[in-house]
Structure 1
Amino acid sequence: MDARSWTWDKRADAAYLAFGDGPRRVARTVPVRDGETVVAALDFGADGALLGIELLNAEVQLSAAMKAVAEIISGP
């Protein structure tokens, strides 16, 4: 599984790591929780393939190295 893109939306404080070849429709999203708080979401296609991972509260969750290579799609 190869990463296709790594984006960081600073305004929304969310980052997204997309996998695969080109755009595909998300059929199901599974929230990932830390206690009661949703910290990430996993997007799956109709065939069950993992299409992407969204990290919420990205400012805290992303390492400096991850921030340095992410494509920033919005700013403050």
Structure 2
Amino acid sequence: MLFLLGPWFDVWIVKGNLSSSLTLNIVPLTDPYVLLQSLFVGYSLILDALIGALIVLLLYAIIGGRMFCSWVCPVNIVTDAAS
């Protein structure tokens, strides 16, 4: 919903897409896997993308692990439904 607030209501909290975004025009967030793919393909990387990937990786390291699997990973839904 944060991505849709801008075009619909002219409230720009998050600009960008799911691979790279800018939150509150200050905080860059970048998907680390997209950053690695871009690096291996040969694109030159900008500092904002590197900082954004570092922020995402730090957040995963701090609150990741079981939280990632409980919210993102569909295996829990499948195993709960199977039982």
Scaled by the length of structure 2, what TM-score is found? Answer: 0.28
Q: Which has the higher contact order (CA 8 A, sep 6+)?
A: 1
Bigger Rg over Cα: 2
Relative to its length, the structure with more helix (as a share) is 2
